[in-house]
Amino acid sequence: MALHRLVRDCPPLDQNSLYCNLLQCSHFQNSSIAAFSNGELLGSVTGYCIPGRADTLFVWQVAVHPSARGRGLARTMLNNLLIRMAPQGIRYIETSITPGNEASLRLFTGFATEQHAAMVRSVLFEQLLHFEGAHETEYLFRIGPFAAANGSDTQN
């Protein structure tokens, strides 16, 4: 319920069903991260490894409660998740962002810069073709490669 409430409080994120949030917390717990303070959920990054591409983590949603914004929590969670996933061979992070989500655009652009990683943008789901005009185009952002867990250079 805490994740469901957090996403609800973080527009413009798409709200998922409570059942979907429960699956995220159980099935994808190893590829997600949460930040708590005094027992309250302040932030989360939910993601999963893309089937057939074990080197890629897809970040589904990044949510930071309005009271915790402006302190670098989202970037810290992304950094910690990447560190945790690197030994499993994660070399890329992908996410989708709509043009109107300026906070996510800043977060992932800054993250790529901080990681000295390339970022490539392409259309993932088009507004008219996939959403019949009811949702903005979702652009895929692919960031990486990141250094392997053994510390090799990112320029492979």
CATH code for the domain in which residue 38 is found: 3.40.630.30
Range of the domain at 16: 2-143
pLDDT in 10s for each residue of the chain, 156 residues? 999 999 999 988 889 999 999 999 999 999 999 999 999 999 999 999 999 999 999 999 999 999 999 999 999 999 999 999 999 999 999 999 999 999 999 999 999 999 999 999 999 999 999 999 999 999 999 999 997 544 444 444
Domain-embedded: residue 121: yes
To the nearest 10 degrees (0 to 180), the angle between helices 73-85 and 102-114 is 50
Domain-embedded: residue 152: no
Domain-embedded: residue 84: yes
Domain-embedded: residue 61: yes
Nearest to 115 by CA among 123, 125, 107: 107
Domain-embedded: residue 151: no
How many CB atoms are located within 10 Å of the residue 117 CB? 19
Taking the C-alpha atoms of residue 131 and residue 144, their distance in angstroms, rounded to an integer, is: 28
Domain-embedded: residue 148: no
